[in-house]
Amino acid sequence: MAEHLTHFYEKFQPSHYNIYLDINRESKHFSGTSTITGEAKTSSISVHQKFLTIESVTVDGNDVPFKTDNDNEAIHIDLPKTGEVTLAIKFSAKLTDTMMGIYPSYYEVDGVKKQIIGTQFETTAARQAFPCVDEPEAKATFDLAIKYDEHEGETIISNMPEVKTENGVHYFDTTMRMSSYLIAFGFGELQSKETTTKSGVKVGVFATKAHKADELDFALDIAKRSIEFYEDFYQTPYPLPHSWQLALPDFSAGAMENWGLVTYREAYLLLDPKNTSFEMKQLVATVIAHELAHQWFGDLVTMKWWDDLWLNESFANMMEYVAIDAIEPDWHIWEVFQTSDVPAALQRDATDGVQSVHVQVENPAEIDSIFDAAIVYAKGARMLVMARALVGDEALHKGLKNYFTAHKFHNATGADLWSALGDASGIDVGSIMNSWLEQPGYPVVTAKVENGNLTLSQHQFFIGDGKDAGRKWQIPLNSNYDVVPEIMSDKTLTIGNYDELRQSTGKPFFLNVGNNSHFIIQYDETLMKDILDHVNDLDAISQLQILQDLRLLADGRKNSYANIVPLLPRFADSHSNIVNAALYRAANNLKKFVTPKSPEEKALKELFDKLSSAQLDRLGFAPKAGESNDDQLTRPYILSAGLYAENADAMASAHSLFKENENHLADLSADVRVFVLRNEVKNFGSQALFDKLLDAYRKTSDASYKQDICAALTSTTDPKLIAELVGKFEEADTIKPQDLRAWFRGVLANDDGQQAAWDWIRNDWQWLEDTVGGDMEFATYITVISSVFHTPQRLEEFKSFFEPKIPTPGLTREIKMDISVIDSRVQLVQDEKDAVNEAVSKTVK
């Protein structure tokens, strides 16, 4: 429908809520009253509700007529007057297992099934918990009072501290002025650990008692130090008395920044301090730092409407790295940005039809669909990294302080941020950034020597078909040649006589030093040869960048994978984890060119052996005490390559580690456990091992161990076990819906399991939609499929299943993009298969 939807806030502006909830877990039912004081601009107003039964509505104590409108998730109310009114709405509803609104999380302690209640309101699910004007601009203060079927030893927490308990009702202190989507509470049998920041903010970590107490320690330390860092960096105090972090056993997203009560997937908060990989610790730390960055950016100052979601997410995504880099400088956390966010953004943003970072949205399904992690998070963060580099940290601090002072407890738009940063720095940040914010895609800059002159030109880069709309970007070039201007605004740019420049600088020409601007570079033969001749003089980030850009150019058909293959061995002995990350990302991309169990696959495995065997000897299978972070982070790439190559030493080491630890597999070092288990399942698998691992999966509370078991079991080659596994997909007692996508992806990416997984999702799509269709992760099941498929047959099957679903709200863009993604991959494989396989066999000779 083209009709303009009026925001409810335009007609009714709440200032204060009194919310009373009575929640019964036993009967899976809750009821309550939402009393809202606010300013009515017209006599006919609307308030949001979803899945609620509305029992009565009074205005200033008198019953008034109302109409429940489920299609628009609303209650329409006729008021006797405009101006200040107090509405009281009585309602009741069911508790459902959708991981949205108020919902139960299930877990077991010593074989006893238990549950805790938690909430997830972003984006539009506060209306499932109580009637409210559920729009970010509708900020108000909230008094929460909650009663539940409480047993001895249970705890309830919320955004604010509890002030009193009366007749079993828990009353919480009045909140600051805030948006409804940030309200949260949780209750049940919880354990916690608490500490206090230098400035007196109480920090706590809460979890079920299924976890060992020391699993809370890491998070508590990171949360405390992150808040201390932000208070300093933002020059603005943490605005609330406490910052609670709560781990929920069932959780759809990664974590949620509810103000003062952040909720997390258990895997992203709790960890065994004695046996967790460094990589996992880095991930958990960045998730915590991300959510705490939001306590200011998102919570204290909130986007006016969801089109500016990027203001929240792009910023928090950048700040998670800024914060962890400050509190753990030895981790070199920006390297994680370079190996995860950067390639994700560059890949996704190259597909025609991708959304821009700033995107117009109206209805709830659309709002959920804009949480594209590669764009709103990763590309947006990359955009802000560019902005940070332009203005410098001093102006950033000053600009942010002014931004928070001007907008705290209120809302802001992107323009407000640019003007704050622009005022602080004297640079017109907005006009530079708008080319990145408002336009989808990014440029490839072609650098060549033409008639003796070094020249640059920019064009939009596409993987797959793309319509050139003549877009231009303001590109921070960051060249290592001083004569190159800071910003490229035009289509083309002539730098000067190349031979003279080369001679006076004494080094190969390079753009985007540091890989912090969102573009890639195609150097002509002269320039590329010069770079490759000096590749060993390049720092790790520049080496990563060479591999990254060549790989993307090959995906975009501006280069051939056959040209990349002979270059790979040059990087194979690098001790840098980020070079290895880029190397194996490129190498793994070759797998799509070979048919399972063919001579070509055998040759490819030889190439992997050639790349990894010397490093395997150097690093060994077991982590060494006191080894460098780089070695720890490099080992997984090498083991993965060695096992794919069927390297005899690697397989024997993995098998003997398994045998030595057979009776206590969880104690295998988390750095290598997944490789040991996967090797065992793949090469020495049996029903007994399968049963044993699945049982361990059900029983362990260690999320890392769970992930390792999932990766191992989904790699089985036994058709009977694959069928058994797919049969477990809908058994929530074994595989929680929050974890299903990883299992599905594992089986789908397994050559021997693909058919079964593909059949399952097509046959049981309705079940999937009923189970996880209500949340923003749903569309990513389709993304997962598109990341795996690469044959014409699968493309046809994908189209015939998903094309009819294109009109589904929230799926439209995803399906269209994914058809293009698979189609371009199928073309690439068909066109280049022979040349690539020939290059592989030449390189291994």
- Tell me which residues are annotated as active site: 291
Of 407, 413, 469, nearest in space to 443 by CA:
469
Neighbour tally for 160: CB within 10 Å: 20
In the complex, what is the shortest distance from the CB of residue 373 to Zn ion, in angstroms, rounded to a whole number? 10
7: annotated binding-site residue? no
467: Cβ–Cβ under 8 A, 6 or more apart, which residues? 352
In the complex, what is the shortest distance from the CB of residue 405 to Zn ion, in angstroms, rounded to a whole number? 23
Contact call for residues 305 and 135 (beta carbons, < 8 A): yes
Each residue 653-672 as x (binds Zn ion by CB under 5 A) or -, in order, gives: --------------------
- Tokens representing 662? 């057979």
Smaller CB separation from Zn ion, 221 or 313: 313
In the complex, what is the shortest distance from the CB of residue 253 to Zn ion, in angstroms, rounded to a whole number? 9
Residue 622 to residue 648: CA distance in whole angstroms: 16
| Chain CA centroid to CA 119, Å | 20
Smaller CB separation from Zn ion, 49 or 180: 180
In the complex, what is the shortest distance from the CB of residue 598 to Zn ion, in angstroms, rounded to a whole number? 44
- Tokens representing 767? 């079940």
Contact call for residues 197 and 225 (beta carbons, < 8 A): no
- Tokens representing 610? 């050639």
Question: What burial class does residue 535 get, using C-beta atoms within 10 Å of its C-beta: 0-12 exposed, 13-18 middle, 19+ buried?
Answer: middle
Smaller CB separation from Zn ion, 220 or 316: 316
Contacts to Zn ion from residues 122-141, by CB under 5 A: none
In the complex, what is the shortest distance from the CB of residue 337 to Zn ion, in angstroms, rounded to a whole number? 15
Contacts to Zn ion from residues 289-318, by CB under 5 A: 313, 316
In the complex, what is the shortest distance from the CB of residue 543 to Zn ion, in angstroms, rounded to a whole number? 31
Smaller CB separation from Zn ion, 118 or 131: 118
232: Cβ–Cβ under 8 A, 6 or more apart, which residues? none
Smaller CB separation from Zn ion, 313 or 341: 313
Residue 248 three-state SS: strand
The number of C-alpha atoms within 13 Å of 260 and in the hemisphere containing its C-beta is 25
Smaller CB separation from Zn ion, 316 or 651: 316
323 near Zn ion, judged by CB under 5 A: no
Smaller CB separation from Zn ion, 316 or 819: 316
Residue 512 three-state SS: coil
In the complex, what is the shortest distance from the CB of residue 320 to Zn ion, in angstroms, rounded to a whole number? 9
Of 385, 298, 391, 276, nearest in space to 337 by CA:
385
Residue nearest to Zn ion (CB): 316
307: Cβ–Cβ under 8 A, 6 or more apart, which residues? 358, 359, 360, 361
Of 712, 714, 708, nearest in space to 275 by CA:
708
151: annotated binding-site residue? no
Residue 360 three-state SS: coil
Residue 348 to residue 342: CA distance in whole angstroms: 10
What stretches of 29-178 show up as alpha helix (H) in DSSP? none
Residues, the chain: 845
Cα 626–627–632 angle (5° rounding)?
Answer: 130
The residue count for binding Zn ion (CB under 5 A) is 2
Residue 527 to residue 537: CA distance in whole angstroms: 15
Neighbour tally for 749: CB within 10 Å: 16
Q: How does 427-459 read in b/e, with b if 16+ C-beta sit within 10 Å?
A: bebbebbbbbbebbbbbbbbbbbeeeebbbbbb
290: annotated binding-site residue? yes
Smaller CB separation from Zn ion, 269 or 488: 269
Where is the binding site for Zn(2+), in residues?
290, 294, 313
Residues that bind Zn ion (CB under 5 A): 313, 316
Q: Which residues are annotated as a binding site?
A: 290, 294, 313
